[in-house]
Protein backbone atom coordinates (compact mmCIF):
# COMPACT_ATOMS: atom_id res chain seq x y z
CA UNK A 1 0.00 0.00 0.00
CA UNK A 2 1.31 3.38 -0.97
CA UNK A 3 -0.25 6.64 0.10
CA UNK A 4 0.02 9.26 -2.64
CA UNK A 5 -0.08 12.87 -1.58
CA UNK A 6 -1.86 15.13 -4.02
CA UNK A 7 -1.88 18.85 -4.43
CA UNK A 8 -4.96 21.04 -4.85
CA UNK A 9 -5.24 22.19 -8.44
CA UNK A 10 -7.47 24.30 -10.62
CA UNK A 11 -7.70 21.52 -13.21
CA UNK A 12 -11.07 20.94 -14.78
CA UNK A 13 -12.50 17.85 -13.17
CA UNK A 14 -12.46 14.60 -15.10
CA UNK A 15 -15.88 13.40 -16.28
CA UNK A 16 -17.42 10.65 -14.19
CA UNK A 17 -18.64 7.53 -15.93
CA UNK A 18 -22.09 8.19 -14.46
CA UNK A 19 -22.22 11.65 -16.04
CA UNK A 20 -21.46 10.61 -19.64
CA UNK A 21 -24.14 10.95 -22.30
CA UNK A 22 -25.33 8.12 -24.51
CA UNK A 23 -23.10 9.41 -27.34
CA UNK A 24 -20.07 9.67 -25.05
CA UNK A 25 -20.64 6.13 -23.79
CA UNK A 26 -20.92 4.86 -27.36
CA UNK A 27 -17.75 6.69 -28.36
CA UNK A 28 -15.57 5.32 -25.54
CA UNK A 29 -11.92 5.14 -26.52
CA UNK A 30 -11.26 1.50 -27.41
CA UNK A 31 -7.54 1.89 -26.72
CA UNK A 32 -8.53 1.46 -23.08
CA UNK A 33 -10.51 -1.81 -23.03
CA UNK A 34 -11.54 -1.68 -19.34
CA UNK A 35 -12.92 1.84 -19.81
CA UNK A 36 -14.68 0.94 -23.06
CA UNK A 37 -16.25 -2.11 -21.41
CA UNK A 38 -17.44 -0.08 -18.41
CA UNK A 39 -18.96 2.48 -20.80
CA UNK A 40 -20.84 -0.23 -22.69
CA UNK A 41 -22.10 -1.81 -19.44
CA UNK A 42 -23.30 1.61 -18.28
CA UNK A 43 -24.94 2.26 -21.65
CA UNK A 44 -26.85 -1.02 -21.28
CA UNK A 45 -27.98 0.05 -17.79
CA UNK A 46 -26.03 -2.77 -16.17
CA UNK A 47 -24.46 -2.19 -12.76
CA UNK A 48 -21.03 -0.54 -12.73
CA UNK A 49 -18.93 1.28 -10.21
CA UNK A 50 -18.42 4.94 -10.95
CA UNK A 51 -15.06 5.73 -12.53
CA UNK A 52 -12.94 8.29 -14.32
CA UNK A 53 -10.49 7.65 -17.14
CA UNK A 54 -6.86 8.64 -16.61
CA UNK A 55 -4.73 7.84 -19.62
CA UNK A 56 -1.00 7.03 -19.47
CA UNK A 57 0.10 10.30 -21.04
CA UNK A 58 -1.87 12.59 -18.74
CA UNK A 59 0.10 14.67 -16.27
CA UNK A 60 -0.04 14.83 -12.48
CA UNK A 61 -2.61 17.65 -12.53
CA UNK A 62 -4.99 15.49 -14.56
CA UNK A 63 -4.52 12.67 -12.05
CA UNK A 64 -5.18 15.07 -9.17
CA UNK A 65 -8.36 16.26 -10.89
CA UNK A 66 -9.56 12.69 -11.43
CA UNK A 67 -8.86 11.73 -7.81
CA UNK A 68 -10.68 14.80 -6.51
CA UNK A 69 -13.66 14.27 -8.82
CA UNK A 70 -14.09 10.63 -7.84
CA UNK A 71 -13.49 11.27 -4.13
CA UNK A 72 -16.11 14.04 -4.05
CA UNK A 73 -18.64 12.02 -6.06
CA UNK A 74 -18.29 8.94 -3.87
CA UNK A 75 -17.67 10.85 -0.61
CA UNK A 76 -14.64 8.69 0.02
CA UNK A 77 -11.30 9.78 1.38
CA UNK A 78 -8.99 8.05 0.72
CA UNK A 79 -9.97 6.27 -2.47
CA UNK A 80 -9.14 2.64 -3.06
CA UNK A 81 -7.65 2.42 -6.51
CA UNK A 82 -6.42 -0.34 -8.72
CA UNK A 83 -5.26 0.35 -12.22
CA UNK A 84 -3.98 -1.70 -15.11
CA UNK A 85 -0.37 -2.46 -15.81
CA UNK A 86 2.42 -2.83 -13.24
CA UNK A 87 0.26 -1.55 -10.38
CA UNK A 88 -1.79 -4.76 -10.61
CA UNK A 89 1.22 -6.60 -9.26
CA UNK A 90 1.40 -4.26 -6.28
CA UNK A 91 -2.23 -4.66 -5.24
CA UNK A 92 -4.52 -1.94 -3.98
CA UNK A 93 -3.27 1.60 -3.55
CA UNK A 94 -4.82 4.40 -1.55
CA UNK A 95 -5.10 7.89 -2.95
CA UNK A 96 -6.33 10.96 -1.17
CA UNK A 97 -7.40 14.33 -2.59
CA UNK A 98 -6.16 16.12 0.55
Q: Which whole number is the average pLDDT over 81-95?
A: 54
Phi, psi of 85 (to 5 degrees): 80, -150
Q: Which whole number is the average pLDDT over 14-29?
A: 94
Would you place residue 41 in the very low, low, confident or very high pLDDT band (cuts 50, 70, 90)? Answer: very high
- Determine what percent of the chain is predicted with pLDDT higher than 70: 66
Residues in the chain: 98
| H or E, element range at 43 | helix 33-43
Does the predicted model carry a pTM greater than 0.85?
no
Instruction: Answer yes or no: are the C-beta atoms of 27 and 20 closer than 8 Å.
Output: no
Q: Which whole number is the average pLDDT over 26-43?
A: 94
Contacts of 6 (CB under 8 A, 6+ apart): 63, 64, 67, 68, 95, 96, 97, 98
pLDDT attached to residue 36: 95
Average pLDDT, the chain: 78
Q: Which of 54, 19, 14, 18 is nearest to 34 (CA)?
A: 54
User: Of 77 and 50, which is predicted with more confidence?
Assistant: 50
Amino acid sequence: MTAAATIPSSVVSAPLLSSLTEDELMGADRRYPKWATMCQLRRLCLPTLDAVLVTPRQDRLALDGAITTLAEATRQDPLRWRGGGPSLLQGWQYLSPC
